[in-house]
Amino acid sequence: MSKKEISFEQALCELEETVKALESGEKTLQESMELYEKGIMLSKQCAAALDGARQKIITLTEAESEGENDA
């Protein structure tokens, strides 16, 4: 599966759909393994996006704090 760049919201939606498909129990073993692999990839993509957002918030908060201390 190629790694395509999609938005966090799209990745999360696809992840939810993937989990539902896995939980349905209607997939073959091969299909389930492919869905599981897709789910792991989407989960990692979502986690990376959240980590990036968290780091940006920390950076902005620290910059704001430093600005207040300089005043």
Two tokens at 66?
A: 């430093």
- What is the mean pLDDT of the segment spanning 15-27? 97
DSSP state of 18: H
% of the chain at pLDDT higher than 90: 80
Position 53 scores a pLDDT of 97
Average pLDDT, the chain: 92
- What is the mean pLDDT of the segment spanning 20-39? 97
Helix (H) or strand (E) holding 7: none
DSSP helix, strand, coil percent of the chain (3-state; round to 5): 85, 0, 15
